[in-house]
Amino acid sequence: MRQKRAKAYRKLMALYSMSFGFRQPYQVLIDSEMCKMAISQNIDFVKQLGIVLQGMVKPMITQCCIHELYLQGKAQQPAVDLAKMFERRKCNHKEAIAGDDCVSSVIGDTNKHRYVVATQSQPLRVKLRSIPGVPILHVNRSVMILEPPSDTTLRAKALVESEALNPSTSEAAKLKAAAPAPPEPPKKRKGPKGPNPLSVKKKKKVADQQPATKSKDKDKGKAKATPKVIQSPAETNAVVGEKRKRGNDDEPVDGGREEKDAHSGRKRRRKRKGTTAAEPSDPPSIS
């Protein structure tokens, strides 16, 4: 047997041992066709079983299977002789039934006695693949082959492993009670922490200036005055005059002038424009 295949079989039998409780000596159920094949292919059957399963083996045959061989007469005497060497498995079938049916009845739904089955019957092999944890052997061109695990077997293995890893429902409940509640994730602020620091600075400026509206206006006047000084001294004087008026009144821009120019709305507007825009032509008109 090639090393690669030997390794694969060793791993496979380890799977059956770990997940399904198979132990040496492995009990191998052998059907009548397999006995005949062993004789016709001149296989040292028991030795081959030990090599493939990589351990001690206990070859077995059911009463019904050996009965099948008896029925085939003298021609199958060597196969009968081989079968007689095996341990007889009582199947309790009062009247012998077909070998396949007998083997599948012995295996049952769960293969609770952990048999390995050596059979040449294709339908029986298909049937056994649907039962978890049944190693299946067959002979192909005088080579004994251990089938790869069936999907059912692999699913059962995964289930066993998950049960071993995960706590049961009662255990999970206990764990849940013991474990502290996970801390709530901190809430994310949607907006910025506070007002923009730049905006705060601006507000401070406004707050400083607001109570002293008059002084602001004065400043305005001064700001206006500086460029106007360059233009003409008369204009600067006029601006100063305005400033004085404003200093006296709460509403410096409109109040004083409104009284003066109450009769004409247009004029008033013009003068207001003049104060805001500080057109050089306005101050002379006031004076």
State the residues that interact with Zn ion by CB under 5 A.
Answer: 62, 64, 91, 93, 102
Other C-beta atoms lying within 10 Å of the C-beta of residue 221: 20
Other C-beta atoms lying within 10 Å of the C-beta of residue 19: 20
* Residue at token pair 């089955």: 117
Question: Residue 70 Cβ, how far from Zn ion at the closest point, in Å?
Answer: 13
Question: Residue 62 Cβ, how far from Zn ion at the closest point, in Å?
Answer: 5
Q: Measured from the CB atom, is 62 or 104 closer to Zn ion?
A: 62
Q: Measured from the CB atom, is 102 or 136 closer to Zn ion?
A: 102
Question: Residue 178 Cβ, how far from Zn ion at the closest point, in Å?
Answer: 54
Q: Measured from the CB atom, is 88 or 155 closer to Zn ion?
A: 88
Which residues, at least 6 apart from 249, have a Cβ–Cβ distance to it below 8 Å? 255, 256
Question: Residue 163 Cβ, how far from Zn ion at the closest point, in Å?
Answer: 34
Query: H-type helices in the chain, by residue range?
Result: 3-20, 32-40, 45-53, 63-71, 77-85, 99-107, 122-129, 151-165, 169-178, 197-209, 213-231, 233-248, 255-260, 265-277, 282-286
**26-30 and 57-62 as β-strands: parallel, antiparallel, unpaired?**
parallel
* Residue at token pair 């293995």: 157
- Token pair of 237 as six digits: 């004087």
Q: Measured from the CB atom, is 35 or 43 closer to Zn ion?
A: 35
Helix (H, G, I), strand (E, B) or coil at 250: coil
- Token pair of 11 as six digits: 């791993």
Q: Measured from the CB atom, is 37 or 102 closer to Zn ion?
A: 102
Question: Residue 6 Cβ, how far from Zn ion at the closest point, in Å?
Answer: 34
Q: Measured from the CB atom, is 112 or 174 closer to Zn ion?
A: 112
User: How many Å apart are CA 107 and CA 287, to the nearest integer?
Assistant: 125
Question: Residue 68 Cβ, how far from Zn ion at the closest point, in Å?
Answer: 10
